Amino acid sequence: MGNDRTKIVCRTTNHRLMQALKVPKLNRYPHFFTTLGILKIALRSSYRYLVGSGGTNNRLVSEKPLSIDKNPYRESHRMKKQTFFILLHFLICLSFGQSDDAILKTLHTDLERIYAQDQITGFSVAIVNQDGIVFEKGLGYADRQAGKKYTENTVQNIASISKTFIGIALLKAEELGKLHLDDPVNDYLDFKVINPHFPDVPITIRHLATHTSSIKDAPEYESKGYILRKENNGDAKVNKNFRPPAELMVLSHFLEEILSDSGAWYKKKNFLKNAPGELFEYSNIGAGLAALVLEEATGVPFNEFTASFIFKPLGMSDSGWFLDEVNFSNYSKLYSDTEKEMAPYQLVNYPDGGLITSSHDLGLYLTELISGFNGTGNILTDESYEKLFTPYLTAKNFKERNESVYNDEYNMGIFMGISAHGQIGHTGGDPGVATYMFFNTKTRIGKILMVNTDIDKEGVKEFSAVWKKLEEYETKF
């Protein structure tokens, strides 16, 4: 890992290297004194080599004046100057590589100490910036009984962080001219979605993306939306809302049954008594509907669209919405506690929380988000990234606002949570799953935490301890 980080530093420009020289604090870098001494000696020798001892003896004198391009002295001087800066570059890279090695080892040790609390079966973490992944590590077990370790390449569901991919996909579809964020959703659907309390106010795609559509999560979201992968689950925990495999249905059918006035589960109370666009109401159903709108607008299934325009361009080779789209050998079991397995399940409304990925792949994605925020993104235009990160809501859109540091409900971009403290990202929670993904808009550093265990009171303490440890180290690289 230290070598990887050294490569990242070495690829930067001389300007970035000079900026990096201001970063170290000697009490944080045990190898810095030794390297600094070597650096001084080497640079002093190189400088002497560059300027020589003075006088004409150091020059090649010619009776005839030479052109600048052909002057041997200038050629020799330029070569010496290049040698000097190459040596400077190398030694700075060596210094920071050694320093980062020590930090990485200490962080790893600290995380192992937290894991020893034994409230989480397995988890993985990552720290990233716009240049890439700075640190990534998995601890614990993906399968405790089999002794299979949880690594940074282990894949599992990430719950509601999945919604941010809907936002990216919608903006890409808009770039392709397939839809516009302010289009009414009924322009694209085969069934009508209308708030019965405000039948003349259309629900738009932007309303869905900012959770102001007035669509509530009906009880059937949970009672009909979690489907067991197999009939016989042995001793594994089966939540009361888990339905048998035979009840799996396609996304469009599920949403129509809840939102269409002819649907089997339709009720007026599935909608707020507030007009669309008026009040923030976090809606998983609304997120699934946004993905369905994208499918109808583009003619491409949501899972295929995101694979083509997000996963493949970013090199997210271990990511997909269904098990047959990922390497199953890397898949983690989920746990109701540190010992008892959770029965394997899938989501009918899969775009709202069903992405299967690793912390490594998610790190590649978060790197792209930071780059997009900086104006150097690759998968969307600068204009689209500006839309993604624009906070669209105000105090009047909320009954109450969550002002905690890491939350996704203080303000909204396009399916992108924005906290009151300059953190952008999303949280996630499902049976056997707890996830965090945020980046700091000031430092432009991001953090990821993925857990494969239901979080109880003690588990929350361990989850929080891991996150705080990442926060402690994020600016030390």
Condensed to tens digits (0 to 9), the pLDDT of residues 126-138 reads 999 999 999 999 9
Question: Phi first, then psi: what are they for 469, rounded to 5°?
Answer: -65, -40
Mean pLDDT (the chain, rounded) = 86
Judge contact between 217 and 316, C-beta under 8 A: no
| Position 477 confidence tier, pLDDT thresholds 50, 70, 90 | confident
> Residue 475 corresponds to which tokens in the numbers above?
């600016």
- How confident is the model at residue 27, as a pLDDT? 36
For the cut 70, the answer to whether the pLDDT of residue 58 exceeds it is no
Condensed to tens digits (0 to 9), the pLDDT of residues 146-183 reads 999 999 999 999 999 999 999 999 999 999 999 999 99
Condensed to tens digits (0 to 9), the pLDDT of residues 358-394 reads 999 999 999 999 999 999 999 999 999 999 999 999 9
Of 54-58, 232-236, 449-453, the one with minimum mean pLDDT is: 54-58
- 4-8: list long-range contacts, CB under 8 Å, 24+ apart: 5/96, 5/97, 5/100, 5/104, 5/134, 5/477, 6/93, 6/94, 6/96, 6/97, 6/100, 8/131, 8/132, 8/134
DSSP H helices, 176-307, are: 205-209, 220-223, 251-259, 284-298, 302-306
Of 17-26, 132-141, 277-286, 379-388, the one with minimum mean pLDDT is: 17-26
- Convert 198-216 into a string of H (helix), E (strand) and C (coil): CCCCCCEHHHHHCCCCCEC
- How confident is the model at residue 341, as a pLDDT? 97
- How confident is the model at residue 476, as a pLDDT? 86
Amino acid at residue number 113:
R
User: How many other CB atoms sit within 10 Å of the CB of residue 316?
Assistant: 22
CA angle (307, 128, 388) in 5-degree steps: 55
Q: Give me the mean pLDDT over the 413-432 stretch.
A: 98
Judge contact between 288 and 255, C-beta under 8 A: yes
> Residue 350 corresponds to which tokens in the numbers above?
């899969």
User: How many other CB atoms sit within 10 Å of the CB of residue 233?
Assistant: 16
- How confident is the model at residue 81, as a pLDDT? 52
Condensed to tens digits (0 to 9), the pLDDT of residues 250-279 reads 999 999 999 999 999 999 999 999 999 999
Q: Give me the mean pLDDT over the 450-473 stretch.
A: 96
For the cut 80, the answer to whether the pLDDT of residue 466 exceeds it is yes
- How confident is the model at residue 300, as a pLDDT? 99
| Position 99 confidence tier, pLDDT thresholds 50, 70, 90 | confident
Please state, in angstroms and rounded to a whole number, the distance separating the CA atoms of residues 450 and 429.
10
Q: Give me the mean pLDDT over the 90-100 stretch.
A: 55
Please state, in angstroms and rounded to a whole number, the distance separating the CA atoms of residues 99 and 29.
5
Please state, in angstroms and rounded to a whole number, the distance separating the CA atoms of residues 208 and 186.
12
pTM for the full predicted model: 0.81
For the cut 80, the answer to whether the pLDDT of residue 26 exceeds it is no
Higher pLDDT: 80 or 74? It is: 80
Task: Please give the domain boundaries of the chain with CATH numbers for all domains.
Answer: 2-110 (no CATH), 122-473 (3.40.710.10)
Q: Is 243 helix (H, G, I), strand (E, B) or coil?
A: strand
